[in-house]
Amino acid sequence: MITLVPTNNYLNVLMLAPVEAEGILLRSETQAKTQRWAKVTGIGPGVYDFNGVLTKPDAKYGEIVYLMAHGIENTSLHDLGVEDYKAVSILDVMVALEDMGTCAIKPKGNYLEVVKIEAPDKTLGGILLPDKVKSPSNLALVRSVGLGWVGAMGNILPVGHNPGQIVNYKPFETMVVDFSTLGKDAVTYIVSAKSVMDTIRYAPPLKDELANYGLDMLGPEELDALGLGPNCGLTKEELEILVATLRPSDQELAFQEWERAQAAWRADSGANT
């Protein structure tokens, strides 16, 4: 019996048989073209950083993962009696499935799971918008985040975003995670953290954020003039308009992050309200 042992940051995976939403197996000749969900069956030891420390891949035996289509290595080992062998680099693993029933996922690396925010029916000032003046929205709510990438020195470089934040991203760089081949009529979206251009500010900057720009000694009036004062954060009413198109659980996630940001600013500034 031949045993395949992955090396470096490669994983051995078993591609799952695609299933239609009604529970009918797809024809075998179409499986390889349609399925990107796989079960991890082997994990390489990792790669060494500049300090000679071995960094292991962020993967678990038996977990179900979604792969980059181009990252699946289709090396044939049929002559050795090895069937259904596939290998993939951990860098080409996009997400891990956490709950089949709810289609909950956990992004890998520097990916963010996002919920697209449709163009609102009215402006933040409350003015109703006719359909013809609505523009496609590049805004999304962050639902979950990856651990980040491993740097050259072996340290984790976090993605810099929290669940519940609203971000402005490059619209053509979102990627679809499709659950249809697991028998689920559902999709979700992920985007690389490097494709996020802006974050909607929920509260005024903290003192250490202002210090990065040498602005921590300015008074409230001066900060207001720069658009960084106590009134620069998103109000709760504005947030309600922005997330009106989202499902209740995602709206609640946004409100929790808004409250966390407001509480952090109050604690940092010593404000009582």
Higher pLDDT, 9 or 28: 9
Residue 54's closest CA among 63, 62, 44? 44
The tens digit of pLDDT for each residue in 131-176 reads: 554 555 789 999 999 998 877 777 788 889 999 999 999 878 889 9
The strand pair at 149-150 and 175-178 is best described as: unpaired
35-60 mean pLDDT: 89
Angle at 88 between CA 21 and CA 112, to 5 degrees: 65
The tens digit of pLDDT for each residue in 84-132 reads: 678 999 999 999 999 999 999 999 999 999 999 986 666 556 666 555 5
Residue 68's pLDDT is 92
Going by C-beta distance under 8 Å and a sequence separation of 6 or more, which residues neighbour residue 51? 153, 154
The tens digit of pLDDT for each residue in 203-220 reads: 888 877 777 777 777 777
The strand pair at 104-107 and 37-43 is best described as: unpaired
20-49 mean pLDDT: 71
Residue 273's pLDDT is 42
Residue 137's closest CA among 104, 166, 178, 179? 166
Q: In what order do the strands lie in the sheet with 37-43?
A: 86-89, 10-15, 37-43, 64-67, 93-99, 104-107
Give percent of the chain with pLDDT exceeding 70: 82
Whether the CB-CB separation of 110 and 194 falls below 8 Å is answered with yes
